[in-house]
Structure 1
């Protein structure tokens, strides 16, 4: 299986439709923690729903419009990263992430998103990677800062979520600002 190591005991690998049962078990386990921030945390209510969502993601990847990867820690699915949008012709993509509470504080999201950014800039030649987050999601804001992203502003009431509208902060990193990791010989 293809995978990318993140930190000791953790790896990033494709999250595909055949992983629906494992993904649904993750959603069930982390639902309460994720629900304030992620719409699918409440809309995926069974294995078939998980499979449909992962199939949608696979179809986006087939069209070169998105990608989704899971984060496994000690063999257990604990989170993931996704290109919410991937517009290769425009050279712009948006990356997002989620994590179960028991896996927080280990640098997993930062490492996974860093890998996604590296792939977008180095392998695909993207010009801009975006990160959108609710201002109240302090962990997400901290990830953007750790990755050297620039806060561009606030999109007020830009999307409907549960019973109201939500604001989003827009963060980005440009290819010209990206510093590739240095290899250790």
Structure 2
């Protein structure tokens, strides 16, 4: 992979990439950009752009856009045929070195429309610190869109700062643990709108609307990308219908290696031992050295939440403590009970 100046034979590749992104309508736009657009941007110091050459052909571009404070914003785009091989991450690392060492920039910024996961993946892989999500930051297709933001300094490592959790698909004879789909929003809203949830988890909106469900799905994806949470849809292995949700959060690495579990069920799936079975399958993966390699799982719930307590006990967790008046529910502050399971208990 090489970063270089544009050449006439890059025009066809630029036109193909423009067509993929829907940015330009004609091949003439690509010809103008390759022939003199990039050069003019350099001369005016508006955008310091390189062509990415991969496998001997045009693959995309990467650029730095300087600002008046001697900082810059990074831009990048890659042709579809070159994706999935780490090309853009390598290109961004090279231009970061150029920006800090040759140009003397103090900070290089990145932002992308919320939902542009390929761009965020590159920023993650090259060591950017994730900043705030800014509402209505940019315009796209005539509409204002929210944007992820990030930044990196000259002394920062050009490598991920935290893991990006990829959800394994876990199965039992009757269950499949996978991620939720957008077409399952009605199933989620029905499961989350009920008196029990309102009582034991009063911070959850009631009714739980489709908009709430979409926000929740987006948040789960962002937390996985930030190395904070795993979240599985517990589905029927035969019909693939979502039966409930199992989440793992508060994950500690290093010597502690523990994590907390939370769960909820759709009303029509309760009373069948589904969640206890799902928890046991997650525990198997979590404690396995070839899975997550964890040491301890724990569950905390309200003392009067007999259903959640029964599920924890059925899954093999032990009651290890009670904190008096430590769990807020809708009617009062309840006791908080803790259950745990150790790798040594399970194996």
**SS in structure 2 opposite 1:35?**
helix
User: Partner of 1:183 in structure 2?
Assistant: none
Find out whether 1:12 has 2:177 as its counterpart.
yes
Q: CA contact under 8 A between 2:180 and 2:233: conserved in structure 1? A: yes
Shift of 1:39: 3.9
User: Partner of 1:36 in structure 2?
Assistant: 199
Matches within 5 A, 1:24-103: 24-28=189-193, 31-39=194-202, 41-43=204-206, 45-73=208-236, 74-89=239-254, 90-103=256-269
Alignment partners' CA distance in 2, 1:165 and 1:44:
23
Shift of 1:140: 2.0
Alignment partners' CA distance in 2, 1:37 and 1:65:
23
Summarize deviations over 1:1-49 as a string: whole Å, max 9, x none. Answer: x7433343x4221125674444224334xx2343333346545632121
TM-score (norm 1): 0.80
Summarize deviations over 1:62-101 as a string: whole Å, max 9, x none. Answer: 1221111112233432211111322233311001211123
**SS in structure 1 opposite 2:251?**
strand
Runs of 5+ unmatched residues, structure 1: 180-185
Alignment partners' CA distance in 2, 1:65 and 1:111:
24
Summarize deviations over 1:142-165 as a string: whole Å, max 9, x none. Answer: 222223222111122223333532
Q: CA contact under 8 A between 1:17 and 1:58: conserved in structure 2? A: no
Given the alignment, which residue of 281, 284, 297 partners 1:129?
A: 297
TM-score (norm 2): 0.45
Q: CA contact under 8 A between 1:12 and 1:69: conserved in structure 2? A: yes
Report how many residues are paired.
175
Alignment partners' CA distance in 2, 1:51 and 1:83:
19
Q: Please give the root-mean-square deviation of Cα atoms over the aligned residues, in Å.
A: 2.5
Q: CA contact under 8 A between 1:44 and 1:50: conserved in structure 2? A: no
Find out whether 1:117 has 2:283 as its counterpart.
yes
